[in-house]
Structure 1
Amino acid sequence: MSDVSADGGPDIPRSVLTELTRQLPEVAERCVAAIIDEVPSYARALRGEMADTIERSVQVALGGFLRMAAGSARGARSTPMRPALDGAYALGRGEARSGRSMNSLLAAYRVGARVAWREMAATTVDAGVDARNLGRFAELVFAYIDGLSAASVSGHADELAASGRVQERRRERLAAALIAGQGEEELLILARRAKWSPPVHLTAVLLPEPEAGAVLTRLGSRCLRAADEQGESGEPEIATLLVPDADGPGRVHLLRTLRSQGAYVGPARPWVRVSESHGRARRAHDLALAGGRSSPVDTELHLPELVLRADGTAYADLRERALEPLADLTPATIARLSETLGSWLLHQGRRDAVAADLHVHAQTVRYRMGQIRELFGDRLDDPDRVLELVLALGCENASPA
């Protein structure tokens, strides 16, 4: 008999392999007992029916190894390992579904490999297998266990990835339903499926998609992210986040978190009405209220603009009618007199306050208002016309810097 098989594996007599196969049930039982004793996570998990299932799994794994060893002894270049690898892969997925890390399973593999090798080595030594073949046999045992461990790690990772994607899709569907304003009963069902506990309030935030990942990490796992929306041509996609309990001090924290982001922040609303918050943030975005600034736009500070510009064509008509007396002037003069009139209306005619606002001398204000009175005449004494002028000009003067 040669020292090793043709492919470099151990040369184990068929009679020894037959005896090892006969001993499989006892070896599997000892492996499970050792795992229960040495791996704390399995102390209770592998009792009763579960223990029987694991014993059968160990027998399948060891049986697969012995078939591989027999093939190696015959010089076979490849021996089917797929059933054992499939079983190990499924075991890894099961660990992930049970909420356990791979640490316990890998420890169980090490314990099982040690016990199995001890039992099989005793049989092979008793059968007179020489030291060199015994060493080759040991290499084969631990290479086989490494293969099973790798398959389990792969199954564990795939299950986590799959379950993570499922949860992500469920949370996206919940976010979409919230934005669409669906009914509370339907939202509660979607929230349960997504394993998401509803907060008291939600706040919608729109921001460029490249910034969303980092912001989401800082805001925490309860923050929902809707499917990204396509931006205008040449612009990045728009991400929508629904942030829990960002009212009061929470809003201050949210704005600080978004400090350097080109974000639009809607108002805090009861969670089932976050569609209102999203609608306002969307309008602020569409109106480009950021004005090129990178700091976040707090829509609560832009209510006049949002109200006045909600109907763009109506606002344009209002401005055209209210400012008609200025129409024949040069653009520079229109801008100067419009600025002065807007400040005068907002400061209720207090000349010094207008001068301070415009950084000009009070006499300059007096001169300009003289021009304006000539152009507008008694319109400045008509409450309805004054209201139109306030709406036409006040928003621009009142906008935050």
Structure 2
Amino acid sequence: MSDVKDFRLSAEAVAPLRHALPAVATQTVEAITEGVPAYAKAFAGELGPQIEKAVRAALATFLNLVSRSAGKGRGSPLTPALEAAYALGRGEARNGRSLDSLLAAYRLGARVAWRELAAISVRAGQDSATIAHFAEQVFAYIDELSAASVAGHADELASSGRVRRHLLERLAQALLAGEPAHVVTAAAERAEWVPPQTLTAVLVPEPFARSVLDLVDARTLQVAEAGPDETSVLLVPDAQGPSRIHLMRLLAGRGATVGPVRPWLQARDSLARAVRTSRFAPSAGGAVVDTEDHLVGLIVTADPQALADLRAKVLAPLAGEKEPVAAKLAETLRAWLQHQGRRDEVAAALFVHPQTVRYRMTQLRELYGDRLRDPQWLLELTVALALEPA
């Protein structure tokens, strides 16, 4: 604010202005009370006299700046005023308010203060050029205070935002670590996070995590380190029923894997299923993977060695065939089980002629004999062949 520091009024010109400060401060506060409704209650209550005192101090600081007798350099009275404006901006942020009302109060206060101070200067015989220059300094001063408040507001938001993000991350980590309910609930209270009824774990490739967060419920938690490599974990609140369908649409093209809905304290279970599903049914071409579509796969792959042993057992009758033939027979047997023996549907699924299916099934009946009519064997064959071999 070098212009204000360079501009000086004589002591004689400043004296009547300083004498009128209490009255000007009162009029300024009254104008702000009427013109900025957000401050009406605060000005009318116990804070009213303090605010009026602060306005008077701000005006006195300005007069000190433009007075010839004002000190220079390190002791400049501008510093306390800027610090007060900065603190005011931080206070507005802490109270969850935007700067709209505060900046409006600055503008209105500047107009009223200038009007009153200009009238006093005119009565004191100041020439028009001096008064015009004086006006420039008044509004430059208000601009400085406004800028300090904006900086304070931004710094408080950044600081409080970092703290809350840290608390939310700790909450998510506690959830996924399976901490006791009272520990997780306390973490939620510290983060000022209102628990939903349910949470759904979503694995999202890291490059898409930020854009997805902007689309989903604002209460969504994120843990970047909890998922597989280069995958972020999101815990989305209350994504059941129609909300789940909507979530799937939001995730389209982002290669996400969506876990089951679970009570919020059991979010860990949702993540575990999403991770397991992503391993045997990874997203292809950015498609969304819904774990609800892979329940059979989840079950039959729960014990990989048991599944391998079962496959070896039920495919033992094919052991004497050459590998290509055995593979085609196993593929035909799987399709035959899936389509309940309907030859034309089996042929369509395999892209072969129905006669080919008939020929292969004849081979299989010769190899398996009565076992293809045994319910227990059919159950074991169905489970063992439920998935394509890895």
Name the TM tier (shorter chain): 0.7 to 0.9
- Give the counterpart of 1:312 among 304, 309, 317: 304
What code does the residue aligned with 1:135 have?
A
Q: How far apart are residue 223 of structure 1 and its match?
A: 2.9
What's the TM-score once normalised by structure 2's chain length? 0.87
Residue 116 of structure 2: aligned partner: 119
The answer on whether the counterparts of 1:95 and 1:101 sit within 8 Å (CA) in structure 2 is: yes
CA distance in 1, matches of 2:216, 2:165: 16
Residue 238 of structure 2: aligned partner: 245
Residue 24 of structure 1: aligned partner: 21
Q: Percent same amino acid at aligned positions? A: 53
The answer on whether the counterparts of 2:203 and 2:258 sit within 8 Å (CA) in structure 1 is: yes
Residue 169 of structure 1: aligned partner: 166
CA distance in 1, matches of 2:128, 2:183: 70
Does residue 276 of the first structure (1) align with residue 273 of the second (2)?
no
Is the deviation greater in 115-124 or in 261-270?
115-124
The answer on whether the counterparts of 1:41 and 1:104 sit within 8 Å (CA) in structure 2 is: yes
Does residue 218 of the first structure (1) align with residue 210 of the second (2)?
no
What code does the residue aligned with 2:26 have?
E
CA-to-aligned-CA distance 1:12-40 (integer Å, 9 cap, x gap): 11243345344433332222122112221
| CA distance 1:320–1:282, shift in 2 (3 Å) | same
Q: How far apart are residue 388 of structure 1 and its match?
A: 3.8
CA distance in 1, matches of 2:294, 2:119: 82
Residue 160 of structure 1: aligned partner: 157
Q: How far apart are residue 326 of structure 1 and its match?
A: 3.9
Does residue 363 of the first structure (1) align with residue 355 of the second (2)?
yes
Residue 293 of structure 2: aligned partner: 301
CA distance in 1, matches of 2:275, 2:304: 15
| CA distance 1:377–1:98, shift in 2 (3 Å) | same
CA distance in 2, matches of 1:92, 1:356: 71
CA distance in 1, matches of 2:238, 2:225: 22
CA-to-aligned-CA distance 1:147-194 (integer Å, 9 cap, x gap): 001111122222233333333333333322222333333333333333
The answer on whether the counterparts of 1:64 and 1:84 sit within 8 Å (CA) in structure 2 is: yes
Q: Secondary structure at the match of 1:371?
A: helix
Q: Secondary structure at the match of 1:360?
A: coil
The answer on whether the counterparts of 1:10 and 1:134 sit within 8 Å (CA) in structure 2 is: no
Q: How far apart are residue 42 of structure 1 and its match?
A: 1.3
| CA distance 1:75–1:250, shift in 2 (3 Å) | closer
Q: How far apart are residue 356 of structure 1 and its match?
A: 4.1
Q: What is the root-mean-square deviation in Å for CA atoms of aligned residues? A: 3.1
- Give the counterpart of 1:263 among 227, 235, 256: 256
Q: Which runs of 5+ in 1 are unaligned?
A: none
Q: How far apart are residue 68 of structure 1 and its match?
A: 1.7
Q: How far apart are residue 261 of structure 1 and its match?
A: 2.2
CA distance in 2, matches of 1:20, 1:324: 105
| CA distance 1:21–1:317, shift in 2 (3 Å) | farther
Q: How far apart are residue 229 of structure 1 and its match?
A: 4.5
Residue 12 of structure 1: aligned partner: 9
The answer on whether the counterparts of 1:209 and 1:228 sit within 8 Å (CA) in structure 2 is: no
What code does the residue aligned with 1:102 have?
L
- Give the counterpart of 1:99 among 89, 96, 99: 96
The answer on whether the counterparts of 1:71 and 1:78 sit within 8 Å (CA) in structure 2 is: no
What's the TM-score once normalised by structure 1's chain length? 0.84
Q: Secondary structure at the match of 1:43?
A: helix
| CA distance 1:331–1:55, shift in 2 (3 Å) | farther
Residue 47 of structure 2: aligned partner: 50
The answer on whether the counterparts of 1:109 and 1:145 sit within 8 Å (CA) in structure 2 is: yes
CA distance in 1, matches of 2:8, 2:367: 111
* Residues matched between the structures, number: 388
